[in-house]
Amino acid sequence: MAESHLTEHHVTHPFIKVEEFGGNISWSIGCEVHQDRMGGDTWVAHGEGKKIIKEISRHTPKGYREKVFFTVEYTDPDGNAYSKKRLQMLGIRAFQNRVAGFAFEYDVEST
């Protein structure tokens, strides 16, 4: 049975390179945080990929605000896709923040 969803959101997402056991290099979701002497933070990514958010359904239970049910899939900078295949749920405002992009400004290191 094919998955049915309302909307698909493609969001640019940061990735960092990590060295695995045995010396292999792979991509991990997120950023490194570098702190300067004054306590300021700089968020740094090694590359950018995509976070694909698929809305499955929206519901407004009686007496509650609208809830959005969705799944998430990531595509790393090399084009490899993966997901946890689990249904997630957020209130509408939190969901809108999620599809707006990564929560923090970050720099992409040139490699």
In the chain, where the domains are located: 8-103
What's the pLDDT score for residue 4?
58
Q: Is a pLDDT exceeding 70 seen at residue 94?
A: yes
What's the pLDDT score for residue 30?
93
Question: Which is higher by pLDDT, 25 or 74?
Answer: 74
Distance CA 69, CA 106 (A): 28
Distance CA 108, CA 17 (A): 12
What's the pLDDT score for residue 1?
44
Regarding pTM above 0.85, the answer is no
What percent of the chain has pLDDT above 70?
Answer: 95
Element (H, E) at 93: helix 92-100
The region, left, alpha or beta by phi > 0 then psi within -120 to 50, assigned to residue 39 is: left
Q: Across residues 77-88, what is the average pLDDT?
A: 91
Beta partners for 100? none
